[in-house]
Structure 1
Amino acid sequence: MKPVSNNNERWEEKLKALTFNVKQIQDNLLEEILTPNLKTEYLQRFHMDRFDKELFKKNVPVVTYEDIKPYIDRVVNGESSDVMSARPITGFLLSSGTSGGAQKMMPWNNKYLDNLTFAYDLRMHVITKHVKGLEEGKGMMFLFTKQESITPSGLPARVATSSYFKSDYFKNRPSNWYYSYTSPDEVILCSNNTQSLYCHLLCGLVQRDEVVRMGSIFASVMVRAIKFLETYWEELCSNIRTGHLSQWITDLGCRSSVSLVLGGPRPDLADTIETVCNQSSWEGIVKRLWPNTKYIETVVTGSMGQYVPTLNYYCSDLPLVSTTYGSSETTFGINIDPLCKPEDVSYAFMPNMSYFEFITMDGDKRDVVDLQDVKLGCTYEPVVTNFSGLYRMRVGDILMVTGFYNNAPQFKFVRRENVVLSIDSDKTNEEDLFKAVSQVKLVLESSDLMLVDFTSYADTSTFPGHYVIYIEVKDKEGESKKKKYVELNEDVFSKCCSVMEDSLDNVYKRCRFKDGSVGPLEIRVVRQGMFDSLMDFFISQGASIGQYKTPRCIKSGKALEFMDECVVARFFST
């Protein structure tokens, strides 16, 4: 293994070169992408007979997924990759599929993994500049693989993380601290997510003194892991005490590899863990069970910001670190200031990942500008041209420029453009919804209640239509463990409805109170554990546990039926 200091110097030089030479790297990258693809049917359609950046911008349109989907479908069904890409398409990446209700399939080849691995190595370098002593321990990372499907073309369709974990990039990863996990690879590769999660926790508990970092791809998975621990800690302690894995863990890879980690009976360790878990409050439980943990690595931006208070409760003062911004289209960039507060997270775009353009979102005019031409304080939607046959495709995220690292713009995630509630002329986006829910949380907290999670939908089955907010609540300080049901005070929840409406924008208020085109907002309280069940529902419908994000606006009829079956009380604004 190379000395850490020498390795850091090498990566620091790479980061400096990347972030100073943004325009040149982007121009060279576009030429590298386009030149081999000029003969593809897609680019021929737009008369691209030579590489010319201005010709590309003039002739090739900015598109959505629905525009490019017919070409993707042709490759999915067995036509040659050169319909859209001269580089062979070797599979398809599935989006998380929880925002709009259907998973998108993005063409994919190993260049995606090249970029992803590069970003992982780069963020490893950045973290070591801010956190010391990481090379002395392991990561307890809740990483999962979802079973792939095979398309009619014979090519696999997987979520991005599964593509990485099943690749030689992961199998042959460097033997340094960043890629050293408490869980054996067999646990990560297990297709049964429940068995995998149990084994992740068991391995992490056995090696509790070696854990220096903990995390998951998204914050929702980290929260789920802690809740799972609340349910299973006694059984986990029993496994550690006896040295035998529970019989319901039937995956052969998990059984053999985890049995080696267990290494026989450990009654003293089981007693220690039992004492910690048996305390009345689980506040700070993560730091008490894994005392050497230095930070939590998980995405807490965008819709994942909802989980920050919950993670702060369980993890006490541990920093919540969002390292990377990526999607099924591309890896965008990394967080240069990993120890910043969750609300201050920005990502520096790396110009060697894909060719990036940006649609201006401020004002009425929708110009398209290059990466080096974005302006501080302005908001944009990214447009991606990548190595897998996507040309000028809109991503659907709205980002704000917060600064520059050398010449590389840093972006803060603001919202998903297409996640909105709308009944009439009102348009409530994800950001507005979060602001309104934050007011609900204050009302609940004043009544000794905590908001566990929420989602919403626009109910147009009656006239006038109205907003429906599904929420799950629990008592503060773990009191819900002692009571079977949370007491629901009508005055409290009616006030929650009112403060939500007060927080929404003037267009909503006009429609609601002046025009009468929007009816009273409704809060539906669901039974405890409902949002865990919702995750299970979406996973059963094809979503990935590793990429799952609670949908903030539900559009799936089946999911709505599922939610309504679990409603325990309804309240309306007055």
Structure 2
Amino acid sequence: MTLIIKMAVKWNFRCACWGFISSLLASVLLTYCFSPQFHLAFRYYMPSLAEGAVAVLLGISSLIAFHISTLRCSESHTLTTLLLSYRWHQGERLATPSILAKINHMWKHPREAQEDLIRELTSRHAKTEYGRKNRLGEIQSVEDLRKKHPLTTYDHYRDYIQRLADGEEGVFLDEEPLRFGVTSGTTGAGKKIPLVSFWLDGDALCKQIRRLAVYQGAHRPSPVQKRCFFYIHPKISLTKTGRVISPYMFIKQEETMRLSELSSPPPAFTITNEPSAAYVHMLFAIADANLALLSTMFTPQMYRALKCLETNWQAMLDDLSTGQINAKIPLDPDLRRSIQRYLRLDKARVSQLRREFEKGFHGILKRIWPHLVAIEGIDIMGFKKKLEEKFSYGVPCFSRGYGNTEVGHLAINMWLHEKELRYAPCPHMAVLEFIPEQNSSDEDPKTLLIDEVEVGGRYELVLTMRSGLYRYRNGDVIQIVGFHENCPVMRMLYRSGEYLNLVYEKVNTQVVDAAIKNTIQGWPGIQLVDWTCAESPVYDPESSELYYIVFLEVDPDKRELNEVTEEQRSKFDEHLQQEHVYYSGLRGSNTISPAQLKFVRTSTFLELRDFRVAMTTTSVMQYKTPRKLRTQEHVNWMMERVIEIK
């Protein structure tokens, strides 16, 4: 196996030499081009002006090289990845004023942006079978859309999408899908969503805005500093026509521009096992002293990756010393050899890391990556707080935005340092309508448009999207918390499909979460890991008794739980009654019995994730714990892991 041995010469010095040599050659060529001999040759022999063109290119090359020589640079770059990363990020930097002007105009005139989008969509789809049947050609405004197209769910499109996946043309999109995204199936079976170029173009703009928001919250890193992205390759399938069916987050090894900025080598993005992926991504991340950013989809993945580092740091340092990945890490032999070719021996870096790891892992990130700008990931279950308390002291942790497979990136967090998460929608991604929460169960509820909502209002989202879905109810309930320019700002509350509803109470999971956290606050030394719940008829359909079952995993373990009294556990039901008036009334009349709080053993929710990933279309990268268990199989599975306490 060939190892890349670290040279004493760094990229800054190499680029300075490159710039000096390029500028010297350029000056020689230009001197020749302006010499009498050149003009004489040009007059009599009419040679090409290649020498002049080469001189100009060498001049540009020297400017780029001299600029890179002044920048902080990740030493694991090859010349190719160095230039690709530089080109990408410098291009984005130059485009920043244009990007910000575009999104700010949309935020100042959101209704205008929505009108532009609906006209674009209906003109694209009017001649398809779906467009003719639903008379999309007659819809020229958002008001027309609201009046002339019905509210829909996925079932409305299922047959159309299947026909599209089978290769039929002109069904309901004006272009062939590049691939099909599959949803996580949090509130049911996963759904196939066609992803076309028009969808990807809009999503790409949102990603640029999201990155600019991160740079607003922290300083912009160098264009040649690498970023670490924790990625687990998902299981994929193919349509009859060979189109890929995969989760929204899907990286191909051919994406050279994207992979050029990442610390892990391309083969690492084919690992399908989370522990192996976390080990390999972290191994290459710690090798780079100039790492700029740690990024993942959700903060629990980041927390588990850093716990992997804490557990395996000695093995990782051995790997960096020998150029061999630990044999205990399960990897395909060919993949292992492919990844190992990218390992760089660096005794000085290994010594530096060993000194820091031996001091402990509190605040470890800033000690091993002094130039780390931020951690980026959507926060779930308070893992941002866990990261900050142990690993990331001094490094900000940002939750970047809100979106889903159907729409892509819908809204961006522009207030990264604020504790309360809120998001500004991107009006070019979807036409937004809002069903008032109290009307969401109506047969044909009225909707409000983007300029008709009020601060404090709670609404179910309705989206008309670039993926070809019109007036689509995705089940998310949000609250308007203010305005950015003239655009409403929202925060996510819950999924309407995760209501608990034994009679008519409709207790949403936000209420359950608040009751759980208020209850555990009174238990010293015990922290919540995760939770889910179920309605008693799902568990025991033969019983007439109605109650909620709440499954909790907490840290620490059973020994401390035995010190939690029955009276303390009963506080959960009291808090739930305080949070929800209808539930309180049904409890007062004994229509509903007290909620049952059950503790499950350590790692149950990791096992639940693996169980659901194996049985459904979801992937590890997009998985979110279901707050409501819908099948008797899942409830029984949880019951088998319940801890018996005194």
TM-score range, shorter chain: 0.7 to 0.9
Pair 1:524–1:84, CA change in 2 (3 A): same
2:480 alignment partner AA = V
What is aligned with 2:307?
Answer: 227
1:18 counterpart = 2:110: no
Measured against aligned partners, the alpha-carbon deviations of 1:496-538 in whole angstroms (never above 9, x if no partner) come to: 33234323412222222x2322222222211212222222222
Q: CA shift at 1:122, angstroms?
A: 1.6
1:319 to 379, 396, 408: 396
In structure 2, the residue matched to 1:137 is 225
Q: Which residue of 540, 546, 550 corresponds with 2:621?
A: 546
Closer/same/farther in 2, CA of residues 516 and 216 from structure 1, 3 Å limit: same
CA distance in 2, matches of 1:533, 1:82: 43
- Is 1:294 paired with 2:369? no
For 2:207 and 2:477, the matched residues in 1 are separated by 24
1:409-428 matches, cutoff 5 A: 409-428=488-507
Letter in 2 for 1:64: T
| Counterparts of 1:455 and 1:276, CA distance in 2 | 38
What residue number does 2:130 align with? 42
Evaluate the alpha carbon distance shift between residue 515 and residue 286 of structure 1 in structure 2; reply closer, same or farther with a 3 A threshold: farther
Larger radius of gyration: 2
Q: 1:385-419 deviations in whole A, cap 9, x for unaligned? A: 22332111012111122222222222111221221
Asked if 2 retains the 8 angstrom alpha-carbon contact of 1:81 and 1:89, the reply is: no
- Rounded Cα–Cα distance in structure 2 between residues aligned with 1:548 and 1:138: 26
Q: 283, 296, 308: which one pairs with 1:216?
A: 296
User: Which whole-Å deviations, capped at 9, do the CAs of 1:74-131 have from their partners, x for residues lacking one?
Assistant: 334x26242222222333211112x224212222212222222211112222322331
1:91, 1:263 → 2: CA distance?
A: 36
* Alpha-carbon distance between aligned partners in 2 of 1:497 and 1:384, rounded to the nearest angstrom: 41
| In structure 2, distance between residues paired with 1:324 and 1:392 | 22
Could you give the per-residue CA deviations for residues 538-566 of structure 1, whole angstroms, max 9, x where no partner exists? Answer: 22223211111111112244433332222
Q: Does 1:245 align with 2:319?
A: no
Distance 1:12 1:145 in 2: 33
Give the structure 1 partner of residue 568 of structure 2.
Answer: 495
Q: Which amino acid aligns with 2:518?
A: Q
Q: Which amino acid letter does the alignment assign opposite residue 535 of structure 2?
A: A
Q: Is the 8 A contact 2:122 2:137 kept in 1?
A: no
Residue type at the aligned position of 1:12: L
Aligned identity (percent) is 25
Change (3 A) 1:557 1:84: farther
SS across alignment from 1:96? coil
State the SS of the aligned residue for 2:382: helix
Question: Which letter does structure 1 place at the counterpart of 2:416?
Answer: P
Contact 1:48/1:55, CA 8 A, preserved across alignment:
no
Supply the AA of the counterpart residue of 1:428: V
Listed one character per residue, the Cα deviations across residues 328-351 of structure 1 (whole Å, up to 9, x for unaligned) are: 11121212222222xx22211112
- The answer to whether the Cα contact below 8 Å between 1:220 and 1:549 also exists between their aligned partners in 2 is no
Choose from 508, 515, 520 the match for 2:589.
515
Return the alpha-carbon distance in structure 1 between the equivalents of residues 184 and 225 of structure 2.
32
**3-state DSSP class of the match of 1:409?**
strand
* 2:447 paired residue among 358, 368, 379: 368
Match of 2:530 among 453, 458, 478: 453
Gaps of 5+ in 1: none
Structure 2 counterpart SS, 1:443: coil
Residues in 1 aligned to 2:636 and 2:357: alpha-carbon distance in whole angstroms: 36
State the Cα distance separating 1:422 from its structure 2 match: 2.4
Q: Give the counterpart of 1:65 among 151, 154, 162.
A: 154
**1:309 and 2:389 aligned:** no
Indicate the RMSD between aligned Cα atoms, in angstroms. Answer: 2.8
Q: Distance in 1 between matches of 2:231 and 2:295?
A: 9
Secondary structure at the counterpart of residue 568 of structure 1? coil
Contact 2:253 2:269 in 1 (8 A): no
Counterpart in the other structure of 2:77 = none
1:106-159 per-position Cα deviation (integer Å, ceiling 9, x unaligned): 222122222222111122223223312522733222123212111345432110
Distance 2:307 2:258 in 1: 31
1:343-396: CA deviation from partner (whole Å, max 9, x where unpaired)? x22211112112222223257884312223322222222222223321110121
The aligned residue for residue 252 of structure 2 is 166
Q: Structure 2 vs 1, CA of residues 141 and 49 (structure 1 numbering), >3 Å: closer, same or farther?
A: closer
Matched, 1:151 2:239: yes
Distance 1:55 1:167, change over 3 A: farther
If the length of structure 1 is used for normalisation, what is the TM-score? Answer: 0.86
Task: Assess if the C-alpha contact under 8 Å between 1:223 and 1:311 holds in 2.
Answer: yes
What SS is found at the alignment partner of 2:643? strand
Structure 1 residues 26-105: aligned runs within 5 Å: 26-53=114-141, 54-76=143-165, 78=166, 80-97=168-185, 99-105=186-192
Question: What SS does structure 2 have at the residue aligned with 1:358?
Answer: strand
Do the aligned partners of 1:224 and 1:532 also contact (CA within 8 Å) in 2?
A: no
User: Aligned pair 1:128/2:215, yes or no?
Assistant: yes
Distance, in Å, in 1 between the alignment partners of 2:631 and 2:367 is 40
Cα distance change of structure 1 residues 252 and 493 upon mapping to structure 2, 3 Å threshold: farther
Structure 2: unaligned runs, 5 residues or longer: 1-86
Contact 1:11 1:125 in 2 (8 A): no
In structure 1, what is the Cα distance between the partners aligned to 2:451 and 2:273? Answer: 44
CA contact (8 A) 2:180 2:192 kept: yes
Secondary structure of residue in 2 paired with 1:569: coil
Distance 1:9 1:566 in 2: 54
Q: Secondary structure of 1:356's partner?
A: strand
- Give the partner amino acid of 1:418: G
1:335 is aligned to 2:413: yes
Relative to 1, partners in 2 of residues 1:322 and 1:454: Cα closer, same or farther, differing over 3 Å? same
Secondary structure of the residue that 1:250 maps to in structure 2?
coil
Q: Distance in 1 between matches of 2:231 and 2:281?
A: 8
Partner SS, residue 170 of structure 2: helix
Counterpart-to-counterpart distance in 2, 1:128 and 1:69 = 40
Q: Secondary structure at the match of 1:374?
A: coil
SS of 1:232's equivalent? helix
Distance 1:34 1:348, change over 3 A: same
Deviates more, 1:100-109 or 1:27-36: 100-109
* CA deviation string 1:150-190 (max 9, x = no partner): 1345432110111xx2386x433496xxxx22212321233
- Separation of aligned partners in 1, 2:279 and 2:430: 37
SS of alignment partner, residue 228 of structure 2: strand
Q: 1:137 to 1:486 in 2, by over 3 A?
A: farther
Q: Which amino acid aligns with 1:559?
A: H
Deviation at 1:3, TM superposition (A): 7.7
Q: Secondary structure at the match of 1:539?
A: helix
